[in-house]
Structure 1
Amino acid sequence: MDIFWSILCVCGIAIGQILFKISASGLKKAGTVFDVPSLAVLTAALALYGITTIGWVWVLQRAELGRVYPFMALAFVIVPVLSHFFLHESFNRQYMLGVGLIIAGIVVSLGGKA
């Protein structure tokens, strides 16, 4: 069950990154740091990061760090995938190879502990 909560924390971090990017783009487009919609998105991202951090501490109370930490690498997979769908960013074959290596690394690092 700790793996489920670990992955949920990683998803929260990934969504937070997308929100940070949306906020940054909005602030750049507005040309001011006082753009209310962008600041609202930034506030949501910070709140999500705060909640996710509390969730991660909760996970660490119940699981060994070495067992759950490899799942944090999934953020390097999830963030670009979300950026592709929500921000229309693209990635290439090298990225896909990297994703495969990250997933393989997670599987190897767990060594049947999952």
Structure 2
Amino acid sequence: MISAGQILFKLAGNRIDGREVTGFAGLIQTLFDPFLLTAFAIYGSATVLWVYVLRYLTLSQAYPFMALSFVLVPLASHVFFGETLGLRYWLGAALLISGMMVMNT
């Protein structure tokens, strides 16, 4: 969920970059951007879900899964924005996933 929120924040940022954001009207227009509002809603929902997950798992069990966003956000940025993923990304992603597996076994 956090990864989807990050992509929506980027989409909102791209839209804001294309318009003049000055004065109160610009602030309101920015705050009510559909991508930005959806990203806020996703982050709020993710927070509620996180509290629910922590009812059943210890923080040391659950927290390593937050590292998945470091893998998923660049993948999504490649798909949605055409960003390039180099060898360092793939090596880093493999290390993160390996580390998560070690920590949760």
TM-score interval w.r.t. the shorter chain? 0.7 to 0.9
CA distance in 2, matches of 1:30, 1:91: 29
Is 1:28 matched up with 2:22? no
Conserved 8 A contact 1:27-1:35: no
Q: TM-score, normalised by structure 1?
A: 0.81
Q: TM-score, normalised by structure 2?
A: 0.88
CA distance in 1, matches of 2:73, 2:64: 16
Is 1:55 matched up with 2:55? no
1:7 corresponding residue in structure 2:
none
Number of matched residues? Answer: 99
TM-aligned CA distance change 1:31 to 1:90, over 3 Å: farther
More contact order relative to length (CA 8 Å, sep ≥ 6) = 1
2:98 corresponding residue in structure 1:
104
2:83 corresponding residue in structure 1:
89
If you compute each CA radius of gyration, which structure gives the higher value, 1 or 2? 2
- 1:30 aligned counterpart, secondary structure: coil
CA distance in 2, matches of 1:71, 1:82: 17
Segments of 4+ moved more than 3 angstroms? 33-36
Q: 5+ residue gaps in structure 1?
A: 1-11
1:17 corresponding residue in structure 2:
6
Q: How far has the Cα of 1:91 moved from its partner? A: 1.4
1:8 corresponding residue in structure 2:
none
RMSD value over aligned CA atoms?
A: 1.4
Q: State percent identity of aligned pairs.
A: 39
Q: 5+ residue gaps in structure 2?
A: none
CA distance in 2, matches of 1:47, 1:56: 14
